[in-house]
Amino acid sequence: MSDKTNKRSGMLGTIYSMLPGIDDDYAAKVVYTLENKKTLPQLQQDIADIAARLSSDSPMADTTAAKILLDEITLNAALRQLRIYNNHTSITELCAALEVPAKDTSKLLDVYASFATRKYFDEEFAAALKDVQDEDMPDKDKALFAVNILLQKADSLLAPSVKNAKQNRKEVFKFADKYGVSVKLTAELEALYTRPASVSFKMESRRLMEQLLKQNPDEHLCASLTARALLCHITPKDAQDTALLSKLLQGHVLEEDLMIIACRYLKAKAPADIANTFESVLKKLPHVSDPRENLGLAVRVLVDGTADSFESATQKASVRRDREVLRKNLAKKDLYTGYEYDLAERFGGKKTFVQLEREMNDILQSLPFCADAKDNKELACKVLLGSLSHEEAAKQAKYLRDLKAQTLTQGLAPELMKSYLGTKPADEILHFFEENLSQYTFWKSDREKHIFALRTLVGELNGTYNRRISEFVLDMLENGSSLELMTDMLSNIQTRKAGKEELDNLLNMYKQARVDSNA
């Protein structure tokens, strides 16, 4: 077995040993998410710490602990969820012991074991029991008395349920549409707040939104945090702290990452402390002119939360800085125009500008040239990038040098070949030019049209235009079309990326325009 397999097996064994009631999917998710972020002892310690904080023997506690490990839920929200789950268990067991009818048990569960009602069985039952606590009667009778009081309250709360559910559904969708709440959160809100005896969604959401907007004016974020709080993924206090944290981070952190950071750190740190940590990480990462060049890397350090993640971010930031410094130096020289980004991407962090300059000069001096070695700068850049062999570059450079002394098509070809993106030898390209122009005469007497035609043919070689379009251009020029008309046509074709039928219509339109202009 490989080390990775052994580690996964060890982590899974630890999870099932320490969290025996965990959902299988969550057990696998914990291993998949944390296998490269935590050692086995670290995982064991984290589980022990969370279990101590939850302090619950409920079967639900194990999966809840996994959610906390994965930063899906805050600790305080988890405690509320466990309270509701435990109340569900208490109601079921008490009603079974008291032989309460199933219909009444269901009522109690609907009202006192649902977050949507904000009624908690442990609290309500204790309050109802006070009235008979000191009475001289059996404990069973006292419990039945309290249950009957809760049933009476439940009936009054359940009476308007149908009407309230309909109104809540309407308000949930209205809220989601107004603020752009995600489909997933919207569906969860609808499911929860259309349950029996639910509180008013409109009132709850409005109250919480007002609180959050005092912390952060970002309505979309505040609405999403409101939804999460109303679903008990986080508490209202968590939502306020998260809204403030986002503001302190100037809104640079995406909501998904923000929630992970909030779930992980708010239980131990204030928003300002987290923001200070973030700024500290930013300042420590290598940068060119502004620490915020590394926002994404700094977020990843907080999200991953490991020393290795900071080291990795530092290395990436260093390479990014070296690439940007190299690109800026390359951009100052015409030799590298059009290739500065590719060269910086390839050599940033590997070679200095001085080293590249030396290599570039060596390549230029080794290639044949007519008057100026810089005439081969594009070929030299391609050699540096490895997209063209030195042998092929030398062949093209020799041919380009020889073509300088020739006239007509041969005289114009060197400049036009510089925009050629392929790897065909120069002699094949020249043959392509001559073959395509051989049946026309316009280029022999009009230098500008000659150049335009050759550029169009280069466009065909590069795949910018197809054969049909380049032939159409040559035909139109032969029949007296202006360069303005042809330039406009090619621009339209590139912009529209037309299909066959639309292209037919477009070409016919320009053909008619040429006829009209010659009439």
Q: Which of the given ranges, 100-109, 264-273, 361-370, 396-405, has the highest pLDDT on average?
A: 100-109
- Sorting pLDDT into bands at 50, 70 and 90, what band is 497? low
SS3 318: helix
Task: Give the mean model confidence (pLDDT) for residues 389-395.
Answer: 92
Q: Is 165 a residue whose pLDDT tops 60?
A: yes
Whether 223 and 156 map to the same domain: the answer is no
pLDDT more than 90, % of the chain? 46
- How many angstroms separate the CA atoms of 106 and 112, rounded? 10
Whether 39 and 119 map to the same domain: the answer is yes
- Sorting pLDDT into bands at 50, 70 and 90, what band is 423? confident
Q: Is 1 a residue whose pLDDT tops 60?
A: no
Q: Which residues pair with 120 in a beta bridge?
A: 113
Q: Output the pLDDT for position 91.
A: 95
Task: Give the mean model confidence (pLDDT) for residues 207-229.
Answer: 96
Q: Kindly state whether residue 413 falls inside one of the protein's structural domains.
A: no
As a 3-state breakdown, the chain gives helix, strand, coil percent values, each rounded to 5, of 75, 0, 25
Whether 105 and 10 map to the same domain: the answer is yes
Task: Give the mean model confidence (pLDDT) for residues 284-312.
Answer: 84
Residue 167 has, within 13 A of its CA and on its CB side, a CA count of 13
Q: Output the pLDDT for position 176.
A: 97
Whether 18 and 156 map to the same domain: the answer is yes
Residues in the chain: 519
DSSP 458-475: HHHHHTSS-HHHHHHHHH
| Residues 6+ away with beta carbon under 8 Å from 515 | none
DSSP 48-92: HHHHHHH----THHHHHHHHHHTTSS-HHHHHHHHHHHHHHHHHH
- Sorting pLDDT into bands at 50, 70 and 90, what band is 498? low
Kindly state the tokens that stand for 438. Answer: 């051989």
Q: Is 502 a residue whose pLDDT tops 80?
A: no
Specify whether the CB–CB gap between 391 and 367 falls below 8 A.
Answer: no
- Sorting pLDDT into bands at 50, 70 and 90, what band is 355? very high
| Residues 6+ away with beta carbon under 8 Å from 172 | 186, 189, 190, 193, 201
- Model confidence pLDDT, tens digit, residues 264-296: 888 889 999 999 988 998 899 888 888 888 888
Q: Residue 411: which of 382, 377, 376, 444 has the closest Cα?
A: 444
Whether 77 and 30 map to the same domain: the answer is yes
DSSP 390: H
- Sorting pLDDT into bands at 50, 70 and 90, what band is 412? low
Q: Output the pLDDT for position 206.
A: 97
Task: Give the mean model confidence (pLDDT) for residues 378-394.
Answer: 92
Whether 168 and 30 map to the same domain: the answer is no
Q: Of 213, 248, 283, which residue is a domain's last? A: 248
Q: Look at the chain and report how many structural domains it folds into.
A: 3
| Residues 6+ away with beta carbon under 8 Å from 427 | 399
Whether 85 and 207 map to the same domain: the answer is no
Q: Kindly state whether residue 37 falls inside one of the protein's structural domains.
A: yes
- How many angstroms separate the CA atoms of 54 and 74, rounded? 11
- How many angstroms separate the CA atoms of 15 and 23, rounded? 11
Whether 220 and 98 map to the same domain: the answer is no
Q: Is 444 a residue whose pLDDT tops 70?
A: no
Location of structure tokens 């570039």: 360
**If you average pLDDT over every residue of the chain, what do you get?**
87
Q: Kindly state whether residue 356 falls inside one of the protein's structural domains.
A: no
Q: Kindly state whether residue 383 falls inside one of the protein's structural domains.
A: no
Q: Kindly state whether residue 131 falls inside one of the protein's structural domains.
A: yes
Q: Kindly state whether residue 321 falls inside one of the protein's structural domains.
A: no
Q: Is 421 a residue whose pLDDT tops 50?
A: yes
Q: Kindly state whether residue 221 falls inside one of the protein's structural domains.
A: yes
User: Among 139-153, 239-253, 306-320, which is the least confidently predicted range?
Assistant: 306-320
Secondary structure element (H or E) that encloses residue 223, with its range: helix 219-230
Q: Which of the given ranges, 67-71, 489-493, 506-510, has the highest pLDDT on average?
A: 67-71
- How many angstroms separate the CA atoms of 451 and 204, rounded? 71
Task: Give the mean model confidence (pLDDT) for residues 18-45.
Answer: 89
Question: Cα dist. 88→70, 96, 304, 308 in Å?
Answer: 25, 12, 36, 43
Whether 509 and 495 map to the same domain: the answer is yes
Q: Output the pLDDT for position 518.
A: 62
- How many angstroms separate the CA atoms of 27 and 13, rounded? 10
**Domain range enclosing 185:** 161-248
- Model confidence pLDDT, tens digit, residues 57-108: 788 889 999 999 988 999 999 999 999 999 999 999 999 999 999 999 999 9
Q: Kindly state whether residue 42 falls inside one of the protein's structural domains.
A: yes
Whether 213 and 82 map to the same domain: the answer is no
Report the Cα 154 to chain-centroid distance in Å: 45
SS3 404: coil
Q: Of 145, 160, 175, which residue is a domain's last? A: 160
Whether 120 and 188 map to the same domain: the answer is no
Task: Give the mean model confidence (pLDDT) for residues 424-439.
Answer: 83
| Residues 6+ away with beta carbon under 8 Å from 300 | 309, 313
DSSP 286: -
Q: Is 192 a residue whose pLDDT tops 70?
A: yes
- Sorting pLDDT into bands at 50, 70 and 90, what band is 397? confident
Task: Give the mean model confidence (pLDDT) for residues 237-246.
Answer: 95
Other beta carbons less than 10 A from residue 81's beta carbon: 19
- Sorting pLDDT into bands at 50, 70 and 90, what band is 512? confident
Specify whether the CB–CB gap between 408 and 444 falls below 8 A.
Answer: yes
- Sorting pLDDT into bands at 50, 70 and 90, what band is 401? low
More confident residue, 318 or 518: 318
Whether 50 and 74 map to the same domain: the answer is yes
Q: Output the pLDDT for position 405.
A: 36
Q: Is 406 a residue whose pLDDT tops 60?
A: no
Report the Cα 280 to chain-centroid distance in Å: 24
- How many angstroms separate the CA atoms of 8 and 38, rounded? 11
Q: Of 197, 216, 248, which residue is a domain's last? A: 248
